Amino acid sequence: DAGVTQSPTHLIKTRGQQVTLRCSPKSGHDTVSWYQQALGQGPQFIFQYYEEEERQRGNFPDRFSGHQFPNYSSELNVNALLLGDSALYLCASSAMGQYEQYFGPGTRLTVT
């Protein structure tokens, strides 16, 4: 049983560009959450998707958007990249109503 998977593992983009990160949840999970983790900091909640809709959102600008597909996989899109968007982006999956949340290995985004 594969856990949470994310792609790509590492990405380098230029300021102003757009990026799409992908996440496949753990088998049996229907809820996907995205987090941004700057170096040396704890993860910051971006948003959560359930039943293909954004259910909760953290304090992130509209440049950050997402999508969830019928197979529960999810994408995180970031437009007009800024240098400050450089971080480890984590995806976590869970079953709605369950406490346990499983994290993927993350995508390291570097904006130059």
Partner 1 sequence: KNQVEQSPQSLIILEGKNCTLQCNYTVSPFSNLRWYKQDTGRGPVSLTIMTFSENTKSNGRYTATLDADTKQSSLHITASQLSDSASYICVVRNGYNKLIFGAGTRLAVHP
Residues near partner 1 (CB under 8 A): 4, 33, 40-45, 56, 88, 90, 92, 99-106, 108
CB 104 within 8 A of CB 34: no
Alpha-carbon distance of 89 to 46, in angstroms, equals 10
CB 22 within 8 A of CB 67: no
Nearer to partner 1, 37 or 65 (CB): 37
Unique residue bearing structure tokens 């856990």: 3
Residue 16 Cβ vs partner 1, minimum distance, rounded to whole Å: 26
Residue 52 Cβ vs partner 1, minimum distance, rounded to whole Å: 18
Nearer to partner 1, 31 or 70 (CB): 31
